[in-house]
Copies of this chain bind each other. A is one copy, B any other.
Amino acid sequence: MTGGKRIMGLPSIRRMPMYYRLLARELEAGRTQISSAYIAEALGMEPIVVRKDFTLFGIIGKPKIGYETEEALQVIDSLMNSRDSNEAFLVGVGNLGQALLSYRGFEHMGLDLIAGFDVDSDIVGRRIQGREIFALVELPRLAKRLHVKTGILCVPEEAAQDCADAMVDAGIEGIWNFAPVRLQVPDYVVVQNEDLAEGLAILIVKLNQSKREGIQRTN
């Protein structure tokens, strides 16, 4: 029983995409080795945090040298892409849903959006970035046929719980939820709530503080 399970905390996991993008860019630019100090400088953080995270991720470096860029990249990649399939559906192709469907930045983060679903007949049948939009009633059939287990939920608040139920019935086991609603789902389903207003609140409160005191804190 060697090496008791390293457990990554949520803050470390949150930093993975940032590391990934930097490492990819630096490798592209020909930097084959990279130190924690360099990474920290580029990302506006402390070197010790980088080293601790990398240790947790299982990336090992060499004294005097740093980390192998490609190896580090591959380790992080493998942490995000170790499922059978990254294919996912998006439910609710409105303003936000269209933006997410169009976006290519999640492809290397373990999420490959392959289709959209909606109830609006004006939208159903259209394509966005090559991804077809289906009627919501098609969801169970297609989810089962394509073995899709992950979904993004982008419908209005009122429809969110019903849609989540439909997704779970269709076999979805992971939901990235953009509606400001706490979904009720079975225990085996993982829900990640994305509340954009959280970040906004931080900005606003900091602005209020700096207006009042002429001070900002970092991050």
Q: Which residues of A contact B (CB under 8 A)?
A: 8, 10, 13-18, 21, 42-44, 79-80, 82-84, 95-96, 98-99, 102-103, 105-106, 109-111, 149-150, 173-174, 176, 180, 182, 187-188, 190, 192-208, 210-211, 214, 216, 219
Contact = CB atoms under 8 A, between A and B. Distances in A.
A12 to B, nearest CB: 10
10 contacts: A8-B205, A13-B201, A13-B202, A17-B180, A17-B197, A79-B208, A80-B201, A110-B201, A174-B204, A192-B206
A14 B208 contact: no
Taken together, the copies of this chain in the complex come to 2
A177 to B, nearest CB: 9
Given A17-B198, A80-B201, 14 more contacts: A10-B219, A14-B195, A15-B198, A16-B201, A17-B197, A18-B195, A42-B182, A82-B208, A95-B102, A98-B99, A149-B207, A188-B210, A194-B196, A194-B199
Given A99-B95, A102-B95, A182-B44, A199 B192 contact: yes
A18 B144 CA distance: 34
A109 B182 contact: no
A180 B42 CA distance: 12
A54 to B, nearest CB: 15
Given A13-B205, A18-B195, A200 B109 contact: yes
Contacts of A83: 204, 207-208, 211
Contact of A203 (B82, B102, B174): B174
A173 B207 contact: yes
Nearest to A78: B208
Question: Which of A109, A149, A204, A219 has the most CB atoms of chain B within a 10 A radius of its CB?
Answer: A204
A173 B197 CA distance: 19
Instruction: Please provide the 10 A-B residue pairs with the shortest distance between their CB atoms, ordered closest to farther.
Output: A17-B197, A110-B204, A192-B203, A95-B99, A14-B198, A99-B99, A96-B99, A174-B207, A95-B102, A194-B199
